[in-house]
Structure 1
């Protein structure tokens, strides 16, 4: 099976359920199947209350959620301040820790640290500040930093192989063929834009796009690019004024057009799983981009029971099961940002399955995904 950058990013972000293989020597027939045996919840903690972040591990076989799995297997050592994202790639796990300026490299079986990448040492004090989001492919991890860079790091020797200057305060990124598309948020000041990295030449094009203000995530389906764009703020806090809207937008040249309302989103097989209006009466939906790539076809996602205060959504690429993160309700009736949260797990049809406790500030989900060889009868 050809493992191009596109194929590996597809496996990690929106994996197909089957890869097929033909055998030219009349040997046993087999195919590859994407499998998942668990999920990990990244908990950001609470920086203002000096609560460090943590990692919650959910084992599908035992149906048990274990708190602080990194600390438990590393002598009680904290994961750090404000972890923000993570993924499994090969036999390793990578967790991006914003406030500590680190990327933790972890053995996914033992949960023990292999390497702590200090991003300010790797890239420079300014360039490596606040790592944010991560993808992987072709033997590398690629992560954004608020210093305005995307770093490419070899997953064998953990050396920096390239760094790319992008826009202001980059957030999410996605790969397609030999390119990476980066969402530059401008720290919600309203002048966000998009960078396109050509991995073959090393060139970077940073493009201002009409209709893009505060981009957070990038989704790519059949070569079409979609941006999760949030509201932005004019003026200085506490007198700043909210502007714009939070939505999925279709990128065409230097212009973006709205597809559907969204605040949190995740994609699997060309379908966006969406939460909009999380701070009011949250709405859940699925936007199918396959049949109508420019506008999508949006239908309600009817979860059999909701959550109190949504904090994120993701979909297991092997099972299609849906995970929704949430804060608990505090004594004042509002979301409690200082205590443990929870995650609810649903079938791919939205039927409630299980609820698990998480750490403080659940913010991201990633899955223990691999490829299994299945021999055909």
Structure 2
């Protein structure tokens, strides 16, 4: 679930580790008697609301589409509430259901359930993999948004270190602040802190300790790394949006401050030497080396989102992918555009689509 509405919901916890079947045999479509595989395309995560989340699949040719992959392959199994994100390792995909404190492990080609990780997690958010271990940020508790003294976040968030051979949490790394997104670069973990914090946290997985943080200013939203440069999109309430470029070799920084017309920019993604970003229901792009942000939209669309803006975004395979969150009570839509803004595909997905994960 996006942090912008997480505090509105009281999330439950689950504390039992469940081992499931290792049956990785391909699923068979009962209508066509053909083997279903999901190797060439994109998984669309649907957050869900008070019920179960889901995952949709759209093939690279934009013709093959399955609205609920997990339900089709694993009928009757409870997937989990508030499906947050996904990461891959080898033959497996790990799907984080933050509202159920659960990670579903599936075969990434067949989506057949392999195992569930349900112990040692507290509102898991995003994860990465290094050397046979997954590092998953857990938001644990959330700030008291009505109390200015607590506005910078909490001190009980942590990174869960998961042994992928046993699918169990073997240790935790305290963050001493609110954690959200995580990326891996050159052996280090970089964790964003939302809201009033000014830092990107740096974790050394060799020691499981925090190192000197990177001070980028308030409102870090999305991050990407390209050629040793960490790109951080900031969107602090009441202040101009900007991109901070951090050279991870020497920690030097340059900033691109956005004009007022691009306030509340979100969803940074990098593709083929361009930085893509969004404002409300519009998509923009600028060169990696640009010193100013483009104010000319590539495309704009009409949203049915409760927020009046897109909820999920990605650029990959020569296309722009947009997920419209809808009203979080009924199924919503995902859109695929060309890089010049031409609509190529529209599909009805699940409730609250929030992200795209490419299985190529």
Fold match (TM-score > 0.5): yes
Aligned counterpart, 2:177: 168
TM-score by length of 2: 0.73
SS of aligned partner of 1:70: helix
Correspondence list, 1:148-227, <5 A? 148-160=157-169, 162-185=171-194, 188=195, 190-205=196-211, 207=213, 209=215, 212-227=217-232
- Structure 1 residues 272, 76: closer, same or farther in 2, change over 3 A? farther
- Structure 1 residues 320, 166: closer, same or farther in 2, change over 3 A? farther
Cα offset, 1:355, TM superposition = 0.8
SS of aligned partner of 1:366: strand
SS of aligned partner of 1:58: strand
Aligned partners of 2:241 and 2:257 also within 8 Å: no
- Structure 1 residues 61, 302: closer, same or farther in 2, change over 3 A? closer
Cα offset, 1:307, TM superposition = 4.2
Q: CA RMSD in A?
A: 2.7
Aligned partners of 1:96 and 1:102 also within 8 Å: yes
Aligned counterpart, 2:354: 363
Aligned partners of 1:54 and 1:78 also within 8 Å: no
Q: Which has the higher contact order (CA 8 A, sep 6+)?
A: 1
Aligned counterpart, 1:125: none
Q: Is 2:139 aligned against 1:134?
A: no
Aligned counterpart, 1:284: 283
SS of aligned partner of 2:350: strand
Aligned counterpart, 2:236: 231
In 2, Cα distance between the equivalents of 1:229 and 1:143?
A: 22
In 2, Cα distance between the equivalents of 1:213 and 1:254?
A: 18
Aligned partners of 1:41 and 1:362 also within 8 Å: yes
TM-score by length of 1: 0.70
Q: 1:273 aligns with which of 259, 276, 283?
A: 276
Structure 2 spans left out of the alignment, 5+ residues: 1-37, 141-156, 304-308
More strand by share: 1
Cα offset, 1:105, TM superposition = 0.7
Aligned partners of 2:221 and 2:267 also within 8 Å: no
SS of aligned partner of 1:286: strand
Aligned counterpart, 2:239: 244
Cα offset, 1:162, TM superposition = 4.7
Correspondence list, 1:1-377, <5 A? 37-46=40-49, 50-61=50-61, 63-118=63-118, 121-122=119-120, 128-147=121-140, 148-160=157-169, 162-185=171-194, 188=195, 190-205=196-211, 207=213, 209=215, 212-232=217-237, 243-251=238-246, 253=251, 257-260=255-258, 261=262, 262-276=265-279, 278=280, 282-289=281-288, 291-292=289-290, 295=291, 298=294, 300-303=296-299, 306-308=301-303, 309-316=309-316, 319-328=317-326, 336-369=327-360
Aligned counterpart, 2:30: none
What do residues 239-271 of structure 1 show as CA deviations (whole Å, max 9, x unaligned)?
Answer: xxxx43444333475977344452122223443
How many equivalent pairs are there? 294
